[in-house]
Copies of this chain bind each other. A is one copy, B any other.
Amino acid sequence: MSDSARLALIEDDPGIRSHFAEIVASMADVRLVGSAGSVAEVAALLLLQPDLWLVDIGLPDGSGLDLIPRLKTANVARVLVITSFGDRQTVVRAIAAGADGYLLKDSSSEAITEGIRVTLDGGAPISAAAAVYLLERLREAPPPTPAPLNPDEAALTAREIELLHCFAIGQSYKEAARTLGISPHTVGNHVKSVYRKLEVHSRAEAIYEAVQGGQLRL
């Protein structure tokens, strides 16, 4: 693309903003293409399609957290959060929102410089204090996809999954039939197929097995 990366800055404090601007200016291969001091001002920056956003969380007219999804969808930009908020909730929400890095404001200029460079390079710089919360989350969230753990369990068809959903919310054969727009007799046939595939003999067990096998989510 271009010889230098295009960077945009979102930070309300003028002092910190100029501080960051200096840091960026000292980097040969990064160019500051715009900055905003509030959520409202960000709209204009979106048109510039920067490669990287430096985002503060605490803005006067809103939270930078809400901005992140928009920044990520505007183009393929990366987002590096630099904030003084180091609490669990903010950190987790920022990452969930799509942030590619999370640095605390007490980071050194060198750390920030390195963070910018690394983020542009596909890395994810995380301040150690913030990472603690992320590790906690990772440990308590077992496998994100406990689904494909059934090598043998036969695959259910879309229709069959729909039917199980109906059953899960308490519908009877008749009700499920109306929901799916088919005859109650046909419901019975689908039931047979499901039971045969899952090797069960009741709706409760079918739902259990389907959930275990990752084919159904409640």
Question: Which A positions have Cβ atoms within 8 angstroms of B?
Answer: 92, 95-96, 98-101, 115, 118-119, 122-129, 131-132, 134-135, 137-141, 144-145, 167-170, 172, 200-205, 207-208, 211-212, 218
Contact = CB atoms under 8 A, between A and B. Distances in A.
A208 B207 contact: yes
Contacts of A125: 128, 131
Contact of A135 (B100, B115, B145, B200): B100
Nearest to A97: B139
Q: Name the residue among A101, A122, A124, A145 with the largest chain B CB count within 10 angstroms.
A: A124
A128 to B, nearest CB: 3
Contact of A124 (B95, B100, B131, B200): B131
Given A126-B126, A132-B124, A218-B212, A139 B95 contact: yes
